[in-house]
Amino acid sequence: MALRRRSGENLALRYVILCAWALVCLVPILWFLSIGFRPRTEIITPQPIYWPTFSLDAWHMIWDDWPMANYLRNSLLAIAGSVVIDLVLAVPAAYSLARYNYKGREDIGFYILSTRMMAPAIVAIPIFFLFKGLGLLDTVWALMLVYAAINLSVVTWIIRSYMMDIPHELEDAARTDGASDLRILWEIVIPICLPGIITAAVIAAIFAINEFLFTLLIASTKNAYTMSVALANFTGGSDGKIYNAIALVSFLAFVPVFLLVVFIQKHLSRGLTLGALKG
């Protein structure tokens, strides 16, 4: 009886707290969505307008007045390219770290992880001059290389974690059958840890969409502006920030990220902890 009553009390408190936080999450998002679909005149006003008139102004503006198609293409190319680079480099590296015993393996693994701790600002100036020297400033190629570098540690560690879970017996059996190590990697290990590889790719793609500092330094025109940095450039001279366009582009980037995350939902916590937490 006492137990029942106590859990009853907890339940009310539980739903108050959970609903409160759900509102904290949802209200700003819905309000920001309404910003994207209201006319310019109703955004920055002496009194905030809570029930705006519906308008597609921003939608027309981002396509007609701004090179939105370029921003989208740059984002997509840079992200896709960087994820491919990451997987090509990370899969063999992860396999090596997960499956072989050799001198220095631990140190190499932790060196790779430690690059995750480096603040982008620390390497920003040398990287800027490096790309300037290579003539790659304001190109998608530079973004691709930088995004790949930022995410390589994360991708390697996630995949390594999934590879360590594969029972050795499978590979041992194949090895006694004379299969080469590369073939074991390609035909046994990769198919089995495909969920881990996909999780790593999705998380790398999301980090790449979010990237701000390097993109700000590398991109200077529509040749390389991505959605993340283009936002900060939606200004209309004396009119200040064009918030309805900013909101709309924010949601354009949000939708694919949302779909990707729903797709890997079961693996999300494991991916975010770089494999430390097996969900």
Partner 1 sequence: MTQTAFKAGGAAVVAASPPAGRRVRRSAFQRKLFPYLLVAPAVCYLLMITLYPGVYAIYQSFFFVRFNEWIPAGFDNYVELFQHDEFWGALWNTFVIGGIALTLECVIALALAYYAYRDPLIRGWRIVFLLPMLFMPSAVAFIWKLAFADGRVISDLLMRVGLITENIDFLGVVWNARLTLIVADVWQWTPFLFIIFVAALQAQDKEIEEAARLDGASWSAIFWNISLPLMKPVIAVAVILRGIDITTMFANVFIMTQGTPGGTTETISFFIYRMGFRTFNFGYASAASAVMLILTLIIAQLLLKRFFRSGRA
Rounded Cα distance, 261 and 161, in Å: 19
Provide, rounded to whole angstroms, the least separation between the CB of residue 181 and partner 1. Answer: 6
Q: For partner 1, which is the closer residue by CB, 56 or 276?
A: 276
User: Which of these, 149, 261, 147, 255, lies nearest to 202 by C-alpha position?
Assistant: 261
Q: For partner 1, which is the closer residue by CB, 198 or 207?
A: 207
Q: Where are the alpha helices (DSSP H) in 100-242?
A: 105-114, 120-134, 140-164, 168-176, 181-184, 190-192, 194-210, 213-218, 227-230
Provide, rounded to whole angstroms, the least separation between the CB of residue 279 and partner 1. Answer: 5
Site for partner 1 in 54-83 (CB under 8 A): none
Site for partner 1 in 76-115 (CB under 8 A): 88-90, 92-93, 95-100, 102, 105-106, 108-115
**Residue found under tokens 């890997």:** 264
Residue 274 phi/psi, 5-degree rounding, is 55, 35
Site for partner 1 in 13-32 (CB under 8 A): 13-14, 17-18, 21-22, 24-26, 28-29, 31-32
| DSSP structure string for 46-107 | SS--SSPPP--HHHHHHHHTS-HHHHHHHHHHHHHHHHHHHHHHHHHHHHHHHH---TTHHH
User: Using the rule CB under 8 A, is 236 a contact of partner 1?
Assistant: no
Site string for partner 1, 252-271 (x = CB under 8 A): -xx--xx--xx--x--xxx-
Provide, rounded to whole angstroms, the least separation between the CB of residue 232 and partner 1. Answer: 6
User: Using the rule CB under 8 A, is 239 a contact of partner 1?
Assistant: no
CB burial of 200-237 (b: ≥16 within 10 Å; e: otherwise) equals: bbbbbbbbbbebeebbbbbbeebebbbbbbbbeebeee
Q: For partner 1, which is the closer residue by CB, 179 or 190?
A: 179
Site for partner 1 in 117-156 (CB under 8 A): 117-130, 146, 148-149, 152-153, 156
The token pair that represents 71 in the structure block: 């921003």
Provide, rounded to whole angstroms, the least separation between the CB of residue 71 and partner 1. Answer: 12
User: Using the rule CB under 8 A, is 227 a contact of partner 1?
Assistant: yes
Provide, rounded to whole angstroms, the least separation between the CB of residue 83 and partner 1. Answer: 14
Alpha carbons within 13 A on the beta-carbon side of 36: 16
Provide, rounded to whole angstroms, the least separation between the CB of residue 123 and partner 1. Answer: 4
Residue 241 phi/psi, 5-degree rounding, is -70, 140
User: Which of these, 114, 120, 191, 203, lies nearest to 155 by C-alpha position?
Assistant: 203
Q: For partner 1, which is the closer residue by CB, 117 or 135?
A: 117
Provide, rounded to whole angstroms, the least separation between the CB of residue 56 and partner 1. Answer: 20
Site for partner 1 in 149-208 (CB under 8 A): 149, 152-153, 156, 164, 173-174, 176-181, 187, 206
Provide, rounded to whole angstroms, the least separation between the CB of residue 61 and partner 1. Answer: 16
